[in-house]
Amino acid sequence: MFSECGRTASFNAPTPELHPLHIMALGYRWSLDFAGPLTLTVRHHWYVLVMVEHFSKWIELVALPDKASEGVAYAFLDKVLSHYGAPAKVLTDQGREFQDESHVLCDKALIDHMTTSRDHPEADGLAERVVQTVWYI
């Protein structure tokens, strides 16, 4: 038999709507994230900036001494913008390292800088998977 609360309970909560990020073409969107701190290198680098192109899954890795926004902006300019051109979108988390100079660079290059929800790394699963791989190398 059902209890009184079992008869009146309603489970008609709306299902949250998912919004997939469509990939339009090669070079359309890049994801950026950090792995680290890792083992100190000979050049005193603690972190690895992970940059992943969504269509081809091409990965660019850059060792950096810290998570400063200036280093992120320079690495993105040097490894992505100068080689592949400006993408339409860049996806990052809401870390301070992706604000300031990095955001200014995106504005100047007319790139839409998207950020994931706070405390939801699965929103950028592609970059997070590469970060996990870098941790185990």
pLDDT of residue 50: 92
Return the axis-axis angle of helices 101-108 and 69-76, rounded to nearest 10°: 30
User: What predicted TM-score, i.e. pTM, was given to this entire model?
Assistant: 0.76
Angle at 50 (CA atoms; ends 44, 52), nearest 5 degrees = 160
Q: 8 falls in which pLDDT band (50, 70, 90)? A: low
For the purposes of burial, counting CB atoms within 10 Å of the CB of 3, is it exposed (0-12), middle (13-18) or buried (19 or more)? exposed
The topology (CATH level 3) of 67-136 is: Nucleotidyltransferase; domain 5 (3.30.420)
Q: 17 falls in which pLDDT band (50, 70, 90)? A: confident
